[in-house]
A and B are shown apart, each in its own frame.
Chain A
Amino acid sequence: MLSTTTSQNAGQGVREITLGQAIREALAEEMRRDPRVFMMGEDIAEAGTPFKVLSGLVEEFGTSRVIDTPISEAGITGMGVGVAMTGMRPIVDIMFGDFIGLAMDQIVNQAAKVHYMSGGKLKVPLVVRTTLGATRRTAAQHSQSLHAWVSHIPGLIVVLPSTPYDAKGLLKTAIRDDNPVIFFEDKMMYQLKGPVPEGDYTIPFGVADIKRPGNDITIVATSSMVQIALAAADGLEKLDISAEVIDPRTMYPLDRDTLIDSAKKTSRVIVVDEGYERYGVTAEIAAVVADGAFYFLDAPVKRMGAMNVPVPFSPALEDLTVPTADSVMEVAKTLCGRV
């Protein structure tokens, strides 16, 4: 499969912008396109969020469409479900992914259930934007990557963009989708630059992107771990190991075919994700690969995630809890019999 990053860029004015700018651009374009789209969240208007991702939007769209709310994650998410059911297309901003715990009933028992439980009559076109990712030195309650929680729940779409291009295209798709979408942005990647077309384009859900083609080993990586995997692939190239890096982009729907095809081709697979390794999305992806490519595999599918420990504050400790290019390279070398 061709990388959509190269195939869809042709023809439009492409600039290098940051992931944060790509998010802002997607939001602004969608709010211009559709008057039903609006945002609500804590400190999103004048403050533009603590990450400054939304700076400037309130100036264009006003406080009736960029709404500062009380610090009430459950309340604003629940209201997001209600507004979405009745003709609006809300985007609820949950500052840190760690805080979705407070909104979990609204996400899991309300947003995810309404469409099915009503026999398909009611729809919840809600987007919850939130963040993931460690190494910001913000300790155990501001550093988790909790996308596995919602990926477990039927009725939710879960999106993890890893590049500015993907972020813009996937966010537009999320806003136009009639299902609740939980959209996780890596807070450490907001400054990451990449090519992004001006104007409108969307990226379909459930289509993985091959970020780097290769033949000897497949590294399936999500969100923050895609850059890690690409750096590992660079290092492996010097050792004459050709690594293919695949980003599923959406945890659900999951592009099983692209993952399985790559595994069949390379016969070795590592899955890298920043969520806790225990019961994480890596386990699901590894199971999908093992099931679909069993007779083609030359080694067990390896999972790499965050260490199973509350994220420590001390930088020296924190850095030990997440996969790095070096640790991914080591595992890849082992799988390829190069120790």
Chain B
Amino acid sequence: MSQSKASGSGEFVEARHPASDQVSTAGAQLLETEQVRWLSIYEQMLKIRIFEEHVNQLYTSAKMPGLAHLYIGEEAIAVGVCSALRRDDYITSTHRGHGHCLAKGASVDRMFAELLGKEAGYCRGKGGSMHIADQETGNLGANAIVGGSAGIATGAAMSSKMRGSDEVTVCFFGDGALGQGVLYEVMNMASLWKLPVIYVCENNQYNEYTHNSETTAGEMSARAKAFGIPTEEVDGQDVRAGHLSR
């Protein structure tokens, strides 16, 4: 199964959470997939869960400085998507980014070192929880500006196209980022120029403290559709859905 290469223009995936009213249509294909593969995918989700539980402990016991946005409950999205990517494919991540980084291949020890502000960390302690970047695994960085990495991700996709290489870029963002204009500026260009970028909206229904019914008008996915971007809504709790929606 090699769904990692986007053939056409940018795609928009809205991963719903916690529950979805839509069930993956790809169930049949799953049966053929090796158990080993899914086991390792499960392990990855578990790794993120356990990692975040440790982060929570460090944070609540005041051993970890700064902020900690946990990815608990959303593991299936990062793992589902990233397990369909190659190492040299790019991702951009968010303030809630530990799961994306780990799913893309970051190592646990260097992640923790960064969270604790140590030199051995991915950014030598200069970035911290919200800014982990790791060139070697194609992670162009978590971003603490909501919607802040949409330009970088779309630019990375433009770069791949210009260099004639076949990497795909995945831009992760929360439902809160749908309030940021720059997202629509770059979606427009991604579609116009047929850039290999996938926009993954992690819809956990909340923009910090505010429910998205108070902030977001109309159909979420209609926004991407308006640019002619193929759009799909999948269950963010179903790791197979995230994986196969590619």
Partner of A114, one of B141, B181, B188: B141
Chain B residue nearest in CB terms to A40 = B158
The stretch from B76-84, B99-107, B121-129 touching chain A is B121-129
Size of B's binding interface in residues, CB under 8 A = 39
CB B78 to nearest CB in A, in angstroms, measures: 20
- Check if B141 sits within 8 Å of A74, measured CB to CB: no
Chain A residues with Cβ below 8 Å from B134 are: 121
- Check if B127 sits within 8 Å of A119, measured CB to CB: yes
In the assembled complex, the Cα of A92 lies from the Cα of B1 at a distance in Å of 39
Decide if A195 is an interface residue (CB 8 Å cutoff). Answer: no
Size of A's binding interface in residues, CB under 8 A = 33
- Check if B151 sits within 8 Å of A122, measured CB to CB: no
In the assembled complex, the Cα of A64 lies from the Cα of B154 at a distance in Å of 16
Decide if B185 is an interface residue (CB 8 Å cutoff). Answer: yes
In the assembled complex, the Cα of A90 lies from the Cα of B181 at a distance in Å of 22
Chain A residues with Cβ below 8 Å from B162 are: 38, 64, 83, 88
Decide if B145 is an interface residue (CB 8 Å cutoff). Answer: yes
- Check if A75 sits within 8 Å of B189, measured CB to CB: yes
- Check if B182 sits within 8 Å of A75, measured CB to CB: yes
Decide if A116 is an interface residue (CB 8 Å cutoff). Answer: yes
Chain B residue nearest in CB terms to A69 = B189
CB A46 to nearest CB in B, in angstroms, measures: 17
Decide if B159 is an interface residue (CB 8 Å cutoff). Answer: yes
Interface of A is mostly: helix
Chain A 69-97 against B: per-residue CB contact (8 Å), 1 yes, 0 no?
11010111111111111111010000000
- Check if B155 sits within 8 Å of A119, measured CB to CB: no
CB B92 to nearest CB in A, in angstroms, measures: 8
- Check if A86 sits within 8 Å of B155, measured CB to CB: yes
Decide if B153 is an interface residue (CB 8 Å cutoff). Answer: yes
In the assembled complex, the Cα of A122 lies from the Cα of B159 at a distance in Å of 15
Decide if B186 is an interface residue (CB 8 Å cutoff). Answer: yes
- Check if B159 sits within 8 Å of A83, measured CB to CB: yes
A residues sitting closer than 8 Å to B (CB atoms) are 38, 64, 69-70, 72, 74-88, 90, 105-106, 109-110, 114, 116-122
Rank and list the top 8 A-B pairs by shortest CB-CB distance, nearest first: A78-B151, A82-B155, A75-B185, A119-B124, A79-B155, A72-B185, A119-B123, A82-B152
Interface CB pairs A-B, < 8 A, 20: A38-B162, A64-B162, A72-B188, A75-B185, A76-B189, A79-B151, A82-B158, A83-B159, A86-B160, A86-B163, A106-B151, A110-B145, A110-B148, A110-B149, A110-B152, A114-B133, A117-B141, A118-B133, A119-B133, A121-B134
